Amino acid sequence: MKIAVACDHAGFPLKTTVLEAVRAAGHEPLDLGTNSTESVDFPDFTEKLGRAIQNGEAERGILVCGSGVGACIAANKMKGVWAAICHDTYSAAQGVLHDDMNVLCLGGRVIGPELAKVLVPAFLNARYQGNDAGGERLARRVGKIKAMEDGIIFDA
C-alpha cells in the first residue's frame, strides 16, 4: 500500500520513525512534509494528506502533530477521510478492523519512537472486516457513518 505521511513542526521529530516503520511494514510512504521544526499550521499538512487519500494517491495516511488532536479534527472534516488518535495498538488495529479507519493520528509530544514503531504496523496490518462473512453488523454501522458524512439524518 502507499501510505501518506504528514506532520506539523511538533510532529516532525517523530516523522523519520514513522516513515521507517511504514517501510518496515512493507509499504511505500508518501512524505507530504513538513520538513523541519519551523512552526507551520497543521491543517495545511492535514489537507495535503486528506487530498492524497481522496485522489487515490494513497490508501491510508498517518498524521503527526503535537497531541494528535488538531490533525484528527481537521482530517475528519474531509469527506472519505476517517481519522482517529490511537496511542495503543488495540485501537490502532480495531479502528481499521471494525470502523474502516484510514488515517492514524499520533501525538508527537505524547508518544515516543518505540511506541510509534508498534502503532504503525498495528494500523497498517489491519484490514476492515465489514466485507467478510459475518461482517454485516460492521458494514451496517460503517454504512451509517458514510450516510452521516453525506448529511443523512437518522431517526434513532
**Domain for residue 148, yes or no?**
no
CATH number at residue 61: 3.40.1400.10
Q: Is residue 9 part of a domain?
A: yes
User: Which of 57, 51, 44 has the alpha carbon at shortest distance from 9?
Assistant: 44
The tens-digit pLDDT sequence of the chain (156 residues) is 999 999 999 999 999 999 999 999 999 999 999 999 999 999 999 999 999 999 999 999 999 999 999 999 999 999 999 999 999 999 999 999 999 999 999 999 999 999 999 999 999 999 999 999 889 999 999 999 999 999 998 776
The tally of domains found in the chain comes to: 1
Grid cell, residue 143, equals: 454504512
**122 assigned to some structural domain:** yes
Q: Which residue range(s) make up the domain with 7?
A: 2-128
Distance CA 65, CA 111 (A): 11
* Percent helix, percent strand, percent coil in the chain, to nearest 5: 45, 15, 40
| Residue 155: predicted pLDDT | 76
Active-site residue numbers? 65, 98
* Structural domain contains residue 87: yes
Burial of 25: CB neighbours in 10 Å, binned 0-12, 13-18, 19+: middle
